[in-house]
Amino acid sequence: MKPAGLHLIVRLAGERVALAAADVDSVIEIDALTPVPGTPDHVAGLAALRSRVLTVIDGRVALGLPPTGVAPAPEAVLLSHEGHCYALLVDAVEDAIEIEGPLEPLRAQPASAWVRVARGIVAHNRTAMLVIAPGPLVAGTDGQGQDGVNPALTPLL
Amino acid sequence: MSEFLAETREMLDAIAGEIVAWEADPKDRARLDAIFRFVHTVKGSCGFLDLPRLARLSHAAEDVLAEVRAGRRMPDPQLVSGVLAVVDRIGEIVSAIGSGESLDDKEDHKLVAALERGAAEPLPIPVASGRRGPARSIRLPIELLDRLMSGVSDMVLARNELARELREAGRHAAVDAAFERLSVTVGDLRDAISRTRMQRLDQLFAALPRMVRDLASELGRDVVLELEGGDVELDREMIEAIRDPITHIIRNAVDHGIEPPARRRARGKPVAGTLRIGARQSGNQIVIDASDDGAGIDADRVAARAVECGLIPAAQATMLSADRKLDLIFQPGLSTARAVTEVSGRGVGMDVVRANLERIGGVVEVHSTLGAGTRLTLRVPLTLTIMPALTVTIAGQRFAIPRIAIEEIVRIGGRGQIETIAGGTAAIVRGRRMPFVDGASLLGAGTDEAADILVVLRFGSGVFALAVTAAHDHEELVVKAAAPVVMATGLYAGTTLPDSGRPMLLLDPAGIAAAAGVSTVAAADEPVPEELGASVPLVPTLLFRDLDGAERAVRVSIVERIDDVAADAVCAAAGQSRIELGGRLLPLLSAAPLPERKRLRMLRLGDGVASLAYAIDHVVDIMPLGPPAGTAGEPGPIAGVLLVDGRQVELLDAHWHFAEAARFATADARAPLCLLGDPHDRWTRDILAPLVEAAGYRIAFAGDPIDEVPAVQIAQGVETTMPAGAPVVRLRVDPVAYTDGEASIYRYDRHAILAALRTHRAAAEAA
């Protein structure tokens, strides 16, 4: 099987999850946020990165969880999705690691909030980790809806 | 291969105009040569790339054209059409290859056969040769240009940050000079890179002759197309964005505007209709006019259709001016074309034209004279990316508003009022009632009591008033598209990064109107009749006795105040009168020469930006009055006649008067120069300079390079550094005059300062 390759490990809503390196531009620090009235709650605001304007996504809220309630985390993961730049607020950025094993479909049902954003599962040091996809995070809970069918789950259904 | 396709496509665009010109004048050797070169080049490339179909077609066309060139064959209409068909087919095949589709090749033989048929009569053709010089240009991928542009934008931001740091770190002459040089270079670089995004409108115009020719022959019209301003440059994205609207307008003009030849003859018009597309740059806008000398649009029929379609109530339709009726063609769901034709469908689509233009910050207007023709005027910003905008504060946050959408800015309690009718809120701005949108509650921030500024915004054919807390600067902002999740709110047109380094949202007026539930028709920019009954709207109107004895009226909404002024505040120069009111020098208009009195009564009229003074005898009354019973035919000081208790009272034409006053302002461009002292002196710079400017002077400070003798200079205390050559007004800090030395004026004696300036100004203008 094809190795899943390089992944960035972050802590999001208390869970260790992985982001494929192909989805990640860099890890940045967010300072000032410009709020965007009228957007869904998971859009924390806009931030500037040099001459780029980033849309900042609160990862917890995008999962349908209550916001962390503290000031925006200093670290955020810069994601490119469909030609736009997003900064995903996470609890912490842990490590970048090469995953030897393949990306596998979900076999166990994770906590429902994660189902929507999971792309699959990888194993590292015998621990299974969810690989999350930028698309559904960016769309938030309003995007696909909690009941949407995740392609990663089709093998289970 | 992809280069061949791109090149061929480019040549096809360029050649389209040549082909039509050649058809019009088949003897034109230069055109013939250009077309020959095209098919020849295609044939050559096909050999390399193994494209037998293209090779066969281009070879056939080349043969025929070679015969024409050699004078062995005459370019008759059949031959021209045959060549056109081949060129078209080449275009189709190229597109098909580009998109990976397959195209049936059965028709190819017919095209080739069509070229061969027909008698070849020898005809001598004058020999001429035109050769193009080598092109001094290269082809670059657009992504590379975009990367350059974003790199330069980063540099500009870094420069701004560095400038801030340097200011805080204190001054070093050497560093400052080096930084200044860097700064200028970065600015130049940005301009140059921005220009790489610009393309000539020829890009768009090249395809038009062919399109008009095809349309005209399909519809049986005779159309002469005149193009002007192809050298005007526009952002390439902008050219793409206006391509569809322009195409649509041309289709409409040929289909519905220009009459069939027989009808034109019957109407005594030239048989061939003229369609003129002209472009010009006006400030940071491009103005494109599309005019035809066709049948024009029947405004009344448009209004009648709008009533039929339920777009507006019949009562309102009768009140609309002709221009406003014409404007209804931009309403969705309106069709006036009697017949549905294949070319422009039901005549729908003008709403789409307007929507498409508004999306890029443009506007479109229509003017038409029944029987004589129609003109559509498009105004679009130079680039999509740099937009002039106003920044405002709503509920504590800054937003940008595209300047093109802003009609005016007024203060609630000043020229703007809020009224609540039947639970709904409306704004009244200078007599116009319009929908009111509270910015703070729209953006979910509750209500903001401090929001007392109304920004009157245009969208579609309507207006509405947006309440904001404060209006700040006009800025040129670099606008980028926002993420879909942000655009989905419908409130924003994009994001921008001002010098502060904090992202800012650009509001979308049309989106805000939609979100606030403002409908275009309700927002129609016209006095709207009361909901109940057929009563006409009554507007508070001031009646006064004019200087020539007539009783006249003016709408209260434009009256800022009524002043009693000393007659010596009037100064006349160069045939124009001005008056000093509240420290400002205003144009003074009157219906008759000013009477010899010590005190004069003035109406101060304001349009939201400019003010003017109108001298009157006395005020009679203020009462609510309807629209004029009769309107003046000729433009002039009187708009029409109001009936007041059986008396006829003339209503001042506000537009005419402000236009007159604006002519004064133009004359002001050469306002006299006043030289002040030290620019680093806070009092001089922040307190004195605004006063002098408001009095109608241009300002220069000591040490400024000036190349004229100032009309007057103002010195403080015993300042002796003032150059000679101009009269000096000397100010003193102490209210009590010096006992010795020159005459001086206490620096807070505003009246005396202005009087002294007036004296010198009159002397300077008399000289």
Q: What is the mean pLDDT of each run of 10 residues along chain A (157 residues)?
A: 85 89 88 88 88 86 74 76 86 87 77 80 85 86 43 36
Asked if the model's pLDDT at residue B403 lies above 50, the reply is yes
Q: For residue A139, what is the nearest residue in chain B, using CA coordinates? A: B485
Q: How many domains does chain A have?
A: 1
Question: At B665, is the pLDDT very low, low, confident or very high (cuts 50, 70, 90)?
Answer: low
Q: For residue B487, what is the nearest residue in chain A, using CA coordinates? A: A39
Asked if the model's pLDDT at residue B425 lies above 70, the reply is yes
Residue A142 carries which side chain, given as an amino acid letter? D
Q: For residue B479, what is the nearest residue in chain A, using CA coordinates? A: A53
Find out whether A89 and A76 touch, Cβ atoms under 8 Å: yes
At B131 the pLDDT is: 37
Rounded (5°) CA angle B241-B299-B345? 50
ipTM: 0.84
| Rounded average pLDDT over B269-281 | 90
Residues of B with Cβ-Cβ distance to A39 under 8 angstroms: 485-486, 488-489
CA B750, CA B731: separation in Å to the nearest integer? 11
Check A34 against B397: CB less than 8 A apart.
yes
Q: For residue A87, what is the nearest residue in chain B, using CA coordinates? A: B483
Question: At B655, is the pLDDT very low, low, confident or very high (cuts 50, 70, 90)?
Answer: confident
- The CA dihedral of B312, B317, B320, B325, to the nearest 10 degrees, is 70
CA of residue B638 relative to chain centroid, distance: 29
A52 shares contact with chain B (CB less than 8 Å): yes
Question: At B691, is the pLDDT very low, low, confident or very high (cuts 50, 70, 90)?
Answer: confident
If phi over 0 gives left and psi between -120 and 50 gives alpha, with beta otherwise, what is residue A50? left
- The CA dihedral of A36, A40, A43, A45, to the nearest 10 degrees, is 10
Task: Identify the three-state secondary structure at position A147.
Answer: coil
Between B44 and B374, where is the model more confident? Answer: B374
Which residue among A35, A53, A85 sits closest to B397, beta carbon to beta carbon? A35
Check A43 against B486: CB less than 8 A apart.
yes
At B719 the pLDDT is: 58
Select from B161, B392, B486 the residue whose CB has the most chain A CBs within 10 Å, as the one to mutate to test that interface: B486
Task: Identify the three-state secondary structure at position A66.
Answer: coil
At B129 the pLDDT is: 34
Check A38 against B444: CB less than 8 A apart.
yes
CA A54, CA A30: separation in Å to the nearest integer? 10
Asked if the model's pLDDT at residue B275 lies above 90, the reply is yes
Enclosing domain of residue A143? 1-157
Residues of B with Cβ-Cβ distance to A140 under 8 angstroms: 485
Check B501 against A36: CB less than 8 A apart.
no
At A10 the pLDDT is: 92
Question: At B193, is the pLDDT very low, low, confident or very high (cuts 50, 70, 90)?
Answer: confident
A38 shares contact with chain B (CB less than 8 Å): yes
For chain B, give the mean pLDDT. Answer: 78
pLDDT, tens only, B450-492: 788 899 998 766 789 999 998 887 777 777 778 888 888 888 8
At B723 the pLDDT is: 64
At B292 the pLDDT is: 92
Query: B587 pairs with which residues across the strands?
Result: B578
Residues of A with Cβ-Cβ distance to B489 under 8 angstroms: 36-39
> Is the torsion defined by CA of B435, B439, B440, B443 positive or negative?
positive
At B289 the pLDDT is: 93
% chain B with pLDDT above 90: 7
Distance from CA of B38 to the nearest CA of A (A): 38
Q: Which of B173-187, B467-481, B506-520 has the highest mean pLDDT?
A: B173-187
Instruction: Point out the least confidently predicted range of A64-68, B616-620, B632-636.
Output: B632-636
Find out whether B86 and B35 touch, Cβ atoms under 8 Å: no
At B122 the pLDDT is: 36
Check B495 against A138: CB less than 8 A apart.
no
Q: For residue A46, what is the nearest residue in chain B, using CA coordinates? A: B503
Question: At B244, is the pLDDT very low, low, confident or very high (cuts 50, 70, 90)?
Answer: confident
CA of residue B574 relative to chain centroid, distance: 33
Find out whether B149 and B197 touch, Cβ atoms under 8 Å: yes
Asked if the model's pLDDT at residue B270 lies above 70, the reply is yes
Question: At B722, is the pLDDT very low, low, confident or very high (cuts 50, 70, 90)?
Answer: low
Query: B647 pairs with which residues across the strands?
Result: B644
| Rounded average pLDDT over B36-58 | 76
CATH number for the domain spanning A137: value is: 2.40.50.180
Question: At B583, is the pLDDT very low, low, confident or very high (cuts 50, 70, 90)?
Answer: low
A61 shares contact with chain B (CB less than 8 Å): no
Find out whether B480 and B385 touch, Cβ atoms under 8 Å: yes
Task: Identify the three-state secondary structure at position B331.
Answer: coil
Rounded (5°) CA angle B645-B649-B653? 140
Which residue among B489, B495, B504 sits closest to A39, beta carbon to beta carbon? B489
At B461 the pLDDT is: 66
CA B455, CA B409: separation in Å to the nearest integer? 5
B138 Cβ contact list (under 8 Å, min separation 6): none
Alpha helices in B50-141 (DSSP H): 52-69, 77-99, 106-116
B750 Cβ contact list (under 8 Å, min separation 6): B583, B691
- Cβ-count burial of B7 within 10 angstroms (0-12 exposed, 13-18 middle, 19+ buried)? middle
Q: For residue B490, what is the nearest residue in chain A, using CA coordinates? A: A38
CA B376, CA B293: separation in Å to the nearest integer? 12
Chain A, residues 63-102, CB within 8 A of chain B, namely 82, 84-86
CA B361, CA B376: separation in Å to the nearest integer? 17
Check B486 against A34: CB less than 8 A apart.
no
